[in-house]
Amino acid sequence: MKGIWIARLQNLKRKPLILISMTIMTVIFAYVLSGSVGSKLTLLIATDESKMSKEVLERLQIEEDYAITVLSEQELQDTIKEKRDTIGVLLNEKTYSVLADTESDVVRNLSLNVETIYNELAFQYQIIVVGGESKWKEVEKGLENPAFQIKEASMDESKVFRYDGALQSLFGFMLYFVFYTISINVQFILEDKRSGVWNRLKLASISRFQLYFGHLSFSYLIGLVQMLLVIFVFRFIVGTNMYGGLWKVIVICSFYVLLVMAFSLFVISLVKTVSQSSVIISLLSVAFAMIGGAYWPLEIVQSDGLLAMKWLSPIYYGMEALKRVTIYGETLSDVWTYVSMMLLLGVILLAVGITLLEKRTERYHSSE
């Protein structure tokens, strides 16, 4: 097994481009598509210079969820026309307008927040007009110390859709690109079997267990290292908010790498050449990313057919578990269904893949 690791390390040293390129592409895609602003929503805001609009702007600037750029009304209109993916807000004395190309949950939540601020300020002005500043201070004090204790509880947190663009891009592209990295490394088993290296190693008193364990453990480590590099870059350099779930993300990634490694082994057990394996992996990885929620949240998908196929995608289990322990603040026990599915499928695919490979070894050599 030690010899296998040395050979694989030497090969990696000679050809490090795949690992480096996949890691860099993950960082670039996730950083660019997340807007490089963490979990903040970028807003362009213009006011009519009235007292009300200025106070609404001040309240919005205090909130940590928004990255605000103040423009004139004309500049806002021009920018929205040029960049249709941006969101603008026009604040007037009594009304407001949210300028966006599409109606989404983000836009609706923003509108609700702005409307709430307007209502609160209107209530404050009305109290001041009737009773003066002193009366408002009394009311404000009463609001801070209500006579009745109100307990708030959501209906079902697991059914509330929460979206974080930074984490959606990070997790999606990380799971997608590591699929390639692991698959390419697992293909060395097929190369060794077809070239005869596998049989020569067995003649050198190396057991089948050592051969498989050497190759698979190296592939597992390479995939996990790539994911850890990406996670640490975004957490400690870019500053992406992981909602206190960093260690849970690492645990889930370790199970995901096992599943992808097992799936890759299963694929090479069904084909005769490395080129065939590469084509199948390329097609399936894109399909799995689409139906597994890597490119977009599955909550916005309307097709029942696509939603039904999500269970076929290894990426779905990893994506859902990662979002649950970060955005939704759930524990590992809460996402045990997804973790156990990754573990179960991984073990099954490993067993089936190794069995098929052993049965097809003679056929590989006869096709040379």
69-101 pLDDT, tens digit each = 888 888 988 888 887 778 889 999 888 998 887
As a whole-number percent, the residues of the chain with pLDDT over 70 amount to: 82
d(CA 235, CA 253): 15
Q: Are 329 and 311 in contact (CB under 8 A)?
A: no
Looking at per-residue pLDDT, the higher value among 177 and 128 belongs to 177
Q: How many CB atoms lie within 10 A of CB 248?
A: 21
Domains and CATH numbers, the chain: 2-36+164-366 (no CATH), 41-139 (3.40.190)
N-to-C CA span, the chain: 26
- Pairing of the two strands 87-91 and 96-99: antiparallel
pLDDT exceeds cutoff 90 at 275: no
pTM assigned to the model: 0.69
Q: Are 105 and 160 in contact (CB under 8 A)?
A: no
Q: What is the pLDDT of residue 37?
A: 42
pLDDT digits (tens, 9 = 90+) for 16-54: 777 788 788 888 877 776 654 445 677 889 998 888 889
Q: Mean pLDDT in the chain?
A: 81
Buried b (16+ CB within 10 A) or exposed e, 305-318: eeeebbeebbbbbb
d(CA 164, CA 147) in angstroms, rounded, equals 37
Say if residues 45 and 91 touch (Cβ distance below 8 Å). Answer: yes
Among 357, 196, 200, 156, which Cα is nearest to 270's? 357
> At a CB cut-off of 8 Å and minimum separation 6, what does 263 contact?
314, 345, 349
Cβ atoms of residues 227 and 253 within 8 Å: yes
How large is the average pLDDT for residues 267-292?
88
160-177 as b/e, with b when 16 or more CB fall inside 10 Å? Answer: eeebbbbbbbbbbbbbbb
Angle at 75 between CA 72 and CA 81, to 5 degrees: 140
